Amino acid sequence: MKFIETAIQGLFEIEVDRLEDERGFFARAFCKKEFEAMNLCQVFVQSNISFNKNKGIIRGMHFQAHPFDEVKLVSCIQGSIFDVAIDMREDSPSYLKWHGCYLNGKNNKSLYIPAGFAHGYQTLEPNTAVSYMVSNYYSPSHEGGVRYDDPLVNINWPLPSSVISERDRERKFLTAKENSGI
C-alpha cells in the first residue's frame, strides 16, 4: 500500500498494490500493520455499501458529531465517483478546505478520512457502488452535514447534479466557524 498525504493533514489517498495475472488481480484493501505503521485508525466497526443507479448523484456532505465522530475508509468498487472530504476541525489550519479525488473500480484507490471531516461524493457513471468502513457506530442524534453547494466551502463538482436527497437539499448553509457542529 502507498499512503499519499493530501494538502489537508491526516487525509490520505491510498493506492493498493495489485498482483495481476490472467485471472484478473488481487489487492489488499486494508492491512492493520500498515495502518498502524502510519499511525492511522486500525479498528473499523461497520462496513457499508452504497449503490447508485444514476450518473450525477450527489450524496453528502455528512458527518457524525462527537462522541460518535468517525474515521472512514472509502473505496469505489464498481463505476466511478468524485469523492470529497471537508475539514470541519475548527482548530485546523485547513478548516473548511476540501479535497476531492477520483475513485473507481479500475484505479482501486481509497480515501482515508479522519474524524472531524464531512464526507460525500458524486457518481460519474450509472450503476456505481461505494464501499466504506467506519470506526464508530451510527447515531442518528449525532448526524450532521454541510450543504453540497455551500458557498463557504465551494466544492467544484465535476458534473451537474442529477439526484440529491431531500435531507441533503434542506441542510442549512454555514454562516460562521461556530456553525460546523463537530
CATH of the domain at 163: 2.60.120.10
Q: What range does the domain containing 20 cover?
A: 2-172
The question of whether 62 is a catalytic residue gets the answer yes
Instruction: Identify the active-site residue in 62, 99, 119, 142.
Output: 62
The question of whether 132 is a catalytic residue gets the answer yes
Residue 178 in this model has a pLDDT that exceeds 50:
no
> pLDDT per residue over 5-33, tens digit each?
999 999 999 999 889 999 988 989 999 99
Number of domains within the chain:
1
Is 177 domain-assigned? no
d(CA 11, CA 117): 9
| 58 grid coordinates | 450527489
Question: Global pTM?
Answer: 0.93
- Which residues lie below 8 Å from residue 82, measured CB to CB, with a gap of 6+? 100, 101, 102, 121, 122, 124, 157, 158, 159
Instruction: Identify the active-site residue in 112, 132, 142, 148.
Output: 132
Residue 142 in this model has a pLDDT that exceeds 90:
yes
Which residue reads 472531524 in cell numbers? 116
